[in-house]
Structure 1
Amino acid sequence: MNGGGGVQYAVIDAFTNVAFKGNPAAVCLLDGEDSKANANDSWMKSVAAEFNISETCFLVPVIFPVDQQGVPRFQLRWFTPVDEVNLCGHATLASAHFLFTTICEKCDEVEFSTKSGILTAKKISGLKRDLSKPFTAPKDNRFAIELNFPLISFIDSDSTAIAPLSATLNGMPVVEVKKTTGDDMIAVLSSGTDVANIKPQFEELIRCPGRGVIITGPGPEGSGFDFFSRFFCPKLGVNEDPVCGSAHCSLAPYWAEKLGKNSLMAYMASPRGGVLGLEIEEKSQRLKIRGEAVTVMTALAFAFGDIMKIKTESDQEEVYVNIF
């Protein structure tokens, strides 16, 4: 762990095994005394605005066994470029990947204390995990991650809620409209191909009620996926969230009911694309979200007032940027 005043961070692409695909998240580890002292809400929002990607998250160690024999726990907070959010799937996956490849590399599980309660992340061998077998690291050290998230319920909604989306939908038939308890609208189309072909008009999307708009449809025949989806949230500074894990907390129960099965494969059909394995646990009302991740870059940042000094690990050159 970093004992100095620097903030170790990484940009990690989640729900993909290829760099520059999936959904990028900036993961910042606040484990030094200086970083903990300076990391107030205003500072976090400024850093998230500077990264200007769908999510920037901040980790603070709560329980960290010296021998890594116990389960480490970290406080985890998520920020869009505009505001803090209560739940984020891809940044949680990115956080777990960061920890499993750095300070928790000997651990197979980590816990996160969040605004949505305690969330867990486990190393697994693939997106379709055999729950009867313990994790065994493959020879190439690649692994997937399984998140344990709450299900989010939804209710019927009137089609007038998506009336502003005339140009975005461009005549595509809408099968159903739902609204989640997380304040997102869900528009169900008849085809996943239609979902992929949408040309979003963000001036329309921002006029829809609620926080964001999820558009989904059944996976095309032969695709290997049960459903496609896309998520738009311009009100929080994220025109399109490339791969939104938390949206599946509502999408999974919807499609499980429609398709009559609790184990699903999902594809987010944004230009970057992303793959999620899903498993609903009805008794506990929890959702297992499985995905892979790739570290794209790592660096150290040093915050002093209104200046952040960044020292990259590759060349050790120092670059100064004004972030406020």
Structure 2
Amino acid sequence: MKYRVVDAFTQQKFCGNSAAVCLLEVGLTDEELQGIAAEFNLSETAYIESLANGQWSLRWFTPAMEVNLCGHATLAAAHALWTEFGVNDEVLRFITRSGELTVTRNNDVMAMRFPLTMTSQVDAGRWAHSVVDPSLLRGAAEAGEDLLIELLSADAVQRFVPDLVSIAALKSRGLIVTAAADSASPIDFVSRFFAPNAGINEDPVTGSAHCALAHYWSLKTGKNTFSARQVSSRGGALDICIDGDVVVLSGYAVTTMKGELLI
């Protein structure tokens, strides 16, 4: 089985978020798919399979579980199909757990249309205080499968030290930590994402989290377009546009490895 490792939401190798992209040519059990993802031990492994109607099946696995939505591995899958596996379609249509997702390209920039995740601000209460110093907290929200906290500054997000035991105790898929960017920055907001319950202590760049971040920051600013940066140690950037109940996430990707799994 052919595979590629792709760094997504970056133009530089060994930055952004890595995903393994596997082109399925034979049927494998879910247990085998999970075992391969654990073997890669990247935040996501994407499995793509050609369907008869020109669409592609797409599934995403962390080292520990299958997930409902993953942005960077979708970007990686599209990049691999276009640059590595000889596909020429200008629009890629993926059938996933989250419905049909489309990816288009404009030269090297790829744009994914994902469902917008509605957020609702909540009283920070005990759960937020269990994961961050209350003096740093500006707000909290429910964000689909995740929880979200807003800190006072971009520097506070950068310096945030996660208590992974406390984050796991939240019983959500993950915790989004965000703040407005500094006034002099061309970026609108920054974020980090932690998902120990999914086998990912910190995800380098998380497309699905930005489906919620787009809505959260739209409510706060009245804007519907953003430039964002996830400030993990690898880091990554993406552009965001809200189009009704869809969020368009745009970015780059670069292939770093290729090979064949002996399955």
Q: Shorter-chain TM-score: what band? A: over 0.9
Local SS of the residue matching 2:207: coil
Of 40, 55, 59 in structure 2, the residue corresponding to residue 77 of structure 1 is: 59
Residue matched to 1:56? 45
- Could you tell me which runs of 5 or more consecutive residues in structure 2 were left unpaired when the two chains were aligned: none
Residue matched to 1:295? 255
Deviation at 1:123, TM superposition (A): 0.8
- Distance in 1, matches of 2:44 and 2:254, equals 16
CA RMSD, aligned part only? 1.4
Deviation at 1:78, TM superposition (A): 0.3
- Distance in 2, matches of 1:298 and 1:103, equals 11
Of 153-162 and 91-100, the range deviating more from structure 2: 153-162
Q: How many residues align?
A: 262
Of 76, 86, 93 in structure 2, the residue corresponding to residue 94 of structure 1 is: 76
- Distance in 1, matches of 2:72 and 2:55, equals 18
Find out whether 1:21 has 2:15 as its counterpart. yes
Matched AA of 2:113: N
- Distance in 2, matches of 1:87 and 1:190, equals 29
Residues 172, 189 of structure 1: 8 Å contact kept: no
Of 197, 213, 222 in structure 2, the residue corresponding to residue 251 of structure 1 is: 213
Stretches of 4+ aligned residues off by more than 4 angstroms: none
Matched AA of 2:183: E
Find out whether 1:116 has 2:98 as its counterpart. yes
Q: How big is each residue's C-alpha offset from its partner over 1:180-230, in whole Å with a ceiling of 9 and x where there is no partner?
A: 222x11001121121111122222222224221000000112221100000
Residue matched to 1:162? 128
- Distance in 2, matches of 1:45 and 1:124, equals 33
TM-score, normalised relative to structure 2: 0.95
Residue matched to 1:265? 227
Find out whether 1:106 has 2:88 as its counterpart. yes
Matched AA of 2:247: L
Deviation at 1:85, TM superposition (A): 0.4
Find out whether 1:210 has 2:178 as its counterpart. no
Matched AA of 2:154: G
Residue matched to 2:113? 148
Matched AA of 2:5: V
- Distance in 2, matches of 1:297 and 1:242, equals 18
Larger Rg: 1
Q: How big is each residue's C-alpha offset from its partner over 1:156-183, in whole Å with a ceiling of 9 and x where there is no partner?
A: 3332222221xxx35652111101222x
Q: How big is each residue's C-alpha offset from its partner over 1:32-51, in whole Å with a ceiling of 9 and x where there is no partner?
A: xxx22xx1100000001111
Matched AA of 1:164: S
- Distance in 2, matches of 1:63 and 1:104, equals 17
Deviation at 1:270, TM superposition (A): 0.5
Deviation at 1:118, TM superposition (A): 0.4
Deviation at 1:257, TM superposition (A): 2.1
Q: How big is each residue's C-alpha offset from its partner over 1:220-275, in whole Å with a ceiling of 9 and x where there is no partner?
A: 12221100000000011000011000001110011122122111100001111000
Find out whether 1:45 has 2:31 as its counterpart. no
- Distance in 2, matches of 1:248 and 1:59, equals 23
- % identity of equivalent residues: 39
